[in-house]
Structures are given as structure tokens and as C-alpha cells.
Structure 1
Amino acid sequence: MRLKIYHVLALALVFSTLSCKVSTEATTTPNSEVSETNQDKPLNIILLIGDGMGLSEVSASYYYNENKPNFDRFETIGLIKTSAASHLITDSAASATAYATGVSTYNGAISVDQDTVAIKTIVEHLIPRNISTGLISTSSVVHATPASFYAHVKKRRMYDDIAAALPTSNIDFIAGGGDDFFDNRNDKRKLYNELVENGYEVHTKQLPTTVGDKKQAIILAPDGMPKMIEGRGDYLPNATKLALEKLSKNPNGFFLMVEGSQIDWGGHNNEADYLISELIDFDNTIGVALDFAKNNSNTLVIVTADHETGGFTLSADGKDYNKIKPTFSTSGHSGTLVPVFAKGPGENNFNGIFKNTELFNKMLQLFDK
């Protein structure tokens, strides 16, 4: 009897060892390579960037949101290292460039490398493949994050040059603020006319309720869009619904980047109400993307941040551990890792801890069919 028990234990040990080996080989993803365990690849990718959104900002949605946060709908979660090539603490330009191009560069760069040479963005990779593309922000469309997906300039505040790149970008849908950079320019260029000449339908008064076959340029504010606490309303979720309605008509698929820009601005201002209201608006927009993906199972939704802003934390209010007091440690950015959430075909590739440049590589490889 004792001998049989030894045999059983030995066999169990062998199977356990083999099982561990198979599991390790199946789930380990070297660098940016797409995991072989998840052969399903998405037709569409929706990338949502909460500018300035660290883990404490995400946590705030659990305490201040009247509804259940949409972050709860994710099961695949990782962490991203955000440092730029030039600085331990990145700015939005270098981080967005990493996401858009897969190249680490200096703070202030808009999709150029450290020698200021232009780098091809994911949008520029996908458009020749007849994959539709869209960009939405609550900042101006020439601000660092959206700009990094279609422009190439050596300094992020070269707004006139960034705006001038949009008419020939061939992006199918773009929405945000920035009228000051398209109209009444010092160089007298009529960029709205140039957009029309390049096949765009231009909207400057309000978000349309539906769109046609033409490319869409929706520029609704002089610079950034109004704050949520100043009455912006449902612009971001509604613009996202509109973009998905348009982009999903393409049988070749689409890439859509949606930025909750002003989470960052609330952090810079050390204004908790501002930050939290923008975060909840962003969470509602995540819900729009996830609802679309629920009805379109070939869609991958990725949610992340470019960096954390404000050193935001949720402190106890003195000795009262039942009361939270949002606090800040800086008016700038911090070097903390930021979360990445993924749901849909290929989501397993976003587990673990990786450099911000890897996000581009993972997305582009998932588009390679």
C-alpha cells in the first residue's frame, strides 16, 4: 500500500511539473510579442487615455461615482512605466508619442525622435490599410495627446503647425476644441476651407446628432472644451458614440483614441472637484466603449493614462477613517506607474508591467492579420 502511495505521489509531481511548464510557456510574452495563447485578434481597437489618471484617480471613481464604475467590467489589468527618454517624469507629449509611435523621446516632442526626425504613427500605419481612424479629446485637437497621433513637430506648443497637419491627415473623425488655431491665423491660412477641400465636413457650433459618409472635423471651442463643472455635459460620451457609429461602417475595422484630457488639468490645479468630475465623465465614456464592444465582439477596449498628475491621493480626514479627504503632493506630474485595463480579443497581451512604448507594439501587432 505504501509503495502505491509513493507511485501516486510521484505521478502527481510529474504532472504538476509538466502543467507548470506548459502554463509558463503559454503565458509568457517576450517583450512586445503578441501572446500565442490568444490567437483571436480584434478587428477594432478603442484606446481610451485618461490624461493624468493614476491609481488614486481610478480609486476615486469608487468613492464619488453614484453608479458602479465601469472599471469594474475589466478582468485584465496591467501597469505601465511612463518615463520619457529625456526625463524620469514624462510629459503628455513624450508619453503620447510613445503610445502613438512606439518610440521613447524627449519631453515636449510630438511624434519625433530625439533627433527631431518624424516617426510614423499608428494612424499613419493603419490608414494605408483602409482601416478607419478617429481621435476625440476634451482639450483642443492640437493639444499634445491627440496631436501625437497625426502631427510631427519638435515642440508641443507649435499649435499652428500642428493644426496645419490636420487637413491632409486623412483621419476619418476628429472632435475637440481648438478653433483659435484653425480660424483667424497669423499666416492667413483658412484651415477650415482646406479641411473641406480635403473631403471633410466641418462642424464648429455643436456636436451633430448623426454624420454622413464624409470625414468629420468637429471643432467646438476656442481652445479646450468647457469643464464638466462648467456645463460641458455629455460631449465626450456622445462624441464617442458618434465616432463609433461612423467608424464601425468600415468592414476593414477601425482605431479610435478617446482622451479624457482634463483629469490632468484638475490635477495641475489641485482641484479635487474638477478632477473627480472629469474622471466620472471619462468613466461614463468607458461605458460607451464597453457597451459597443459587448455588441461587437471583434472589438478590443484598452483604457490607460499617459502619466499621473498632482500626486493625488485619498487620505483619511484627520483621524476620521470614514471620511476621505482628497489631497495633492504636487502641481506637476508624478513618476508613478499607471494602470492599463483591457477587454476583448487580445486582452491577455496587456497583463503585467511594461514600458509605455510597448502599448504601440502590442496594438499594431494585433492589427496584423
Structure 2
Amino acid sequence: MKLRHIFLLGLILLSSVINAQQKVKNVIFMIGDGMGLAQIYRTQQNKGDLTLLQFPYVGLQKTNSSNNDITDSAAAGTALSSGVKTKNGMLGLTPDSVKTISIMELAKKNGFLTGITVTCSVTHATPAAYYAHQPHREMHEEIASDLLLSNIDVCIGGGKKFFTDRKDNRDLLKELEAQKYKIALSQEDLENIYSTKVIALLADEHLPKMSEGRGDMLPNSVSKMLSLLNKENKKGFFVMVEGSQIDWGGHANDAEYVVNEVLDFDKAVKRALDFAAKDGHTLVIVTADHETGGMSIIEKDNKIKENFATTNHSATPVPVFAYGPGAETFTGYYDNTEFVVKIKSLLGLQ
């Protein structure tokens, strides 16, 4: 048994040395909105082994906002993207309303390519935290306007109505086209685009649930985004991918909704992991912004069953999974503001 432990320790140390020798060129940061360990375990029970659970490095992060032990997605998104705690509801601002700079904005400033792929509106709290600076997450039209200032290379999700059906009568899609962006309004449109500067708005607001026929939109969009960016990838890229609707299943206390969305997100994780394994210089980080539903796994009538404690978020710390060069940096227990510090160091961002 001792020899076996020594052998396993040797493998871990060897993996750490190899990771340390490889330079991080690209970062794929993946957020399962509302995804805690119970959500992952329940999905594994129903569907078998998950890609998520094959990651070699695992950590744990705490999620509180600046003004509440229980965060919302705007404050959590700001912490994850900018490394700054803020009040619930605020996006890309400190509690005193000073603009933060997100890791995506910093990467772009340093010559990296950038991208976002989500299953909600691209103006929703988590994606917006990477490019917008607004006092409240519900300011969707103002958030959409911020996207025009971001110079993002690929952005895929929903939310078309916030770009076209606006109180100020601006047509932001025409303004994006004037900036040389290619606009896709369907998955087919997206598949027929072969270079970056792409905005794909595949629904008026949010994409359908998996149970309503969304299909492989998320994994396919992740593959498309990575393919587009990799064609023009000289310095590297930073992208954020969100499984947006795991959270909504938690709010609804709907275990089937949760499981379907975690499974879909896991497919997207596999696409990212396959890319990283082939590339050799890509770091994949998977985590959540918070846990939703206070979900636990209990026994009832001699069967394992889920139990929800709330229809809101909880303060429960959430898991972190990492693969690739620098992955060992993300083990341990730390605050959600630490991601930016770690990623900046690995990418050499100033």
C-alpha cells in the first residue's frame, strides 16, 4: 500500500512538473450557473460518468458578495471577471460605482482574442459582467450598448430584442455591422461564418430549455467559437462559457431541469477539454457563480432523491475543476476574487 501511495504521489508531482513547463496561451473559463456538487452528483446518478469528474485538479471557492453572504449572479460575475467584490445587482462596478476592468477587457487590451458563449441572453448577468459596467443587471438595453464598446471577437447567445427593439430606437445590429461584425441570427447562419468578429443572437431573449428542444446549441457553439478563434490565434485567447439555465432549474426546484442542463453543460465541457488536450497550451477552468436551490441528496423510500431547501441561491461554496498548464494553481479553498489574480499571472497580463 505504501508503494502504491508513493507511485500515485509521483504521478501527481510529474503532472505538476509537466504543467509548470507548459506555457498557458489560452484560457477557457466555464461557469455552470447555480451548479453545486449536489447538482453534479444527481446528474451523474441519472446519466453516468461526467467529463466534469475526470478533471485532475479540484478546488473550492466561496461566493459571497460585498453586501450579502448570498450573492446574485451580477455580483458573482463581477467577482469572477474583475476580481472585485460588489453589491448584488451591480455589474462591472465597485460598491462605490467605480468601473472595474474585467479579465476579458484586460486580455483584449493585451492583444488576446476574446469570446463568450451562453444559453441565456448575452445581456444577462453572468456574460454581461465580462464587458458591461452598469448599476443594475436589469438594464439590458444599456448592457447591449456596452457590448459595442467591447471589441469582443465572438459572442454567441440570445437577446436579439435588446439590440433591435429599443426605447432609444437604435438598431445595434446595424451599428455592429458598421464595425465589421458578421451577424448570425440562427445556428445555420453561425455555421456559415468562417472568421472572427461574430455576434450570434440565436433567440429574442433566452435560448429554449433542453427539454424544449435546444439540442446541441451550447456544445456546438463552443466548438465553433474555439475553431474561429484558433484560426486567427497568435497571442492567445480568453473565453467564457456559461451553462446558464442550471440556475433556473434550481430556482424552480425542478431536478429534471437541473439534470438536463448540467448534462448539456458537461457536453460543452468535453468539447473544451478535447480542444485543450489536443492544443497543449490551453487551461480549462470549470466552476459556478453560486449554488442555487440549496440542493442536497437524501434517502427516501430506500431510494436516493434530491431535496431543495430554497428557491433562491445559497451561500454554499462551489467546486472548481481545472485541466491543463497551470491547473494546479486552482486547488485549495479560496475566494471567488482570486480567479482573476491567478489567470492574470498565468497569462502574464499587465
**TM-score past 0.5 threshold:** yes
> Counterpart of 2:257?
274
> Counterpart of 2:115?
134
For residue 239 of structure 2, the aligned residue among 256, 259, 279 is: 256
Tell me, in whole angstroms, the C-alpha distance in 2 between the residues paired with 1:268 and 1:90. Answer: 14
Report Cα offsets for 1:307-330 as digits up to 9, x if no partner.
000011222123x0xx22222110
Q: Aligned partner of 2:77: which letter? A: A
Tell me, in whole angstroms, the C-alpha distance in 1 between the residues paired with 2:105 and 2:171. Answer: 24
Is this contact kept in 2: 1:211–1:242, CA < 8 A? no
**Long gaps (5+) in structure 1:** 1-22, 28-34
Cα deviation, residue 231, structure 1: 0.4
> Counterpart of 1:338?
318
Is this contact kept in 1: 2:196–2:229, CA < 8 A? no
> Counterpart of 1:237?
219
Tell me, in whole angstroms, the C-alpha distance in 1 between the residues paired with 2:265 and 2:91. Answer: 24
Cα deviation, residue 211, structure 1: 2.5
In structure 2, the residue corresponding to 1:359 is in which secondary structure? helix
> Counterpart of 2:4?
none
In structure 2, the residue corresponding to 1:38 is in which secondary structure? helix
For residue 289 of structure 1, the aligned residue among 267, 272, 276 is: 272
TM-score, with normalisation over the residues of structure 2?
0.92
> Counterpart of 1:16?
none
In structure 2, the residue corresponding to 1:182 is in which secondary structure? helix
> Counterpart of 2:297?
314
Is this contact kept in 2: 1:199–1:214, CA < 8 A? no
> Counterpart of 2:5?
none
The answer to whether the aligner puts 1:88 opposite 2:74 as a matched pair is: no
Percent of residue pairs bearing the same amino acid type: 45
In structure 2, the residue corresponding to 1:248 is in which secondary structure? helix
Farther off after superposition, 138-147 or 52-61: 52-61
> Counterpart of 2:37?
55
> Counterpart of 2:23?
41
For residue 210 of structure 2, the aligned residue among 207, 223, 228 is: 228
Is this contact kept in 1: 2:121–2:157, CA < 8 A? yes
Q: Aligned partner of 1:260: which letter? A: G
Is this contact kept in 2: 1:178–1:224, CA < 8 A? yes
The answer to whether the aligner puts 1:181 opposite 2:162 as a matched pair is: yes
**Long gaps (5+) in structure 2:** 1-8
In structure 1, the residue corresponding to 2:28 is in which secondary structure? strand
The aligned runs of 1:7-86 (5 Å cut-off) are 38=20, 40-66=22-48, 68-86=49-67
The number of residues matched between the two structures is 332
Tell me, in whole angstroms, the C-alpha distance in 1 between the residues paired with 2:187 and 2:339. Answer: 33
Tell me, in whole angstroms, the C-alpha distance in 1 between the residues paired with 2:57 and 2:132. Answer: 31
Q: Aligned partner of 1:170: which letter? A: N
Q: Aligned partner of 2:25: which letter? A: L
Is this contact kept in 1: 2:196–2:228, CA < 8 A? no
TM-score, with normalisation over the residues of structure 1?
0.87
Tell me, in whole angstroms, the C-alpha distance in 2 between the residues paired with 1:219 and 1:65. Answer: 30
Cα deviation, residue 169, structure 1: 1.1
Is this contact kept in 1: 2:219–2:268, CA < 8 A? yes
Report Cα offsets for 1:232-287 as digits up to 9, x if no partner.
00000000000000111212111110000000000001111111100000011110
Q: Aligned partner of 2:274: which letter? A: D
> Counterpart of 2:6?
none
Is this contact kept in 2: 1:52–1:306, CA < 8 A? yes
Q: Aligned partner of 2:157: which letter? A: G
Q: Aligned partner of 1:61: which letter? A: T
Cα deviation, residue 39, structure 1: 5.2
Tell me, in whole angstroms, the C-alpha distance in 1 between the residues paired with 2:130 and 2:243. Answer: 15
Cα deviation, residue 289, structure 1: 0.5
The answer to whether the aligner puts 1:353 opposite 2:333 as a matched pair is: yes
Is this contact kept in 1: 2:187–2:217, CA < 8 A? no
For residue 304 of structure 1, the aligned residue among 279, 287, 303 is: 287
Q: Aligned partner of 1:359: which letter? A: F
Tell me, in whole angstroms, the C-alpha distance in 2 between the residues paired with 1:360 and 1:39. Answer: 21
Cα deviation, residue 62, structure 1: 1.5
Tell me, in whole angstroms, the C-alpha distance in 1 between the residues paired with 2:284 and 2:340. Answer: 14
Report Cα offsets for 1:5-45 as digits up to 9, x if no partner.
xxxxxxxxxxxxxxxxxx9xxx9xxxxxxx9x935331000
Cα deviation, residue 129, structure 1: 1.9
> Counterpart of 1:362?
342
Tell me, in whole angstroms, the C-alpha distance in 1 between the residues paired with 2:105 and 2:127. Answer: 13
Cα deviation, residue 89, structure 1: 0.6
For residue 216 of structure 1, the aligned residue among 176, 187, 198 is: 198
For residue 159 of structure 1, the aligned residue among 122, 140, 154 is: 140
Q: Aligned partner of 2:55: which letter? A: F
Cα deviation, residue 60, structure 1: 1.6
Tell me, in whole angstroms, the C-alpha distance in 2 between the residues paired with 1:55 and 1:41. Answer: 30
Is this contact kept in 2: 1:111–1:148, CA < 8 A? yes
Farther off after superposition, 119-128 or 136-145: 119-128
Tell me, in whole angstroms, the C-alpha distance in 2 between the residues paired with 1:54 and 1:186. Answer: 38
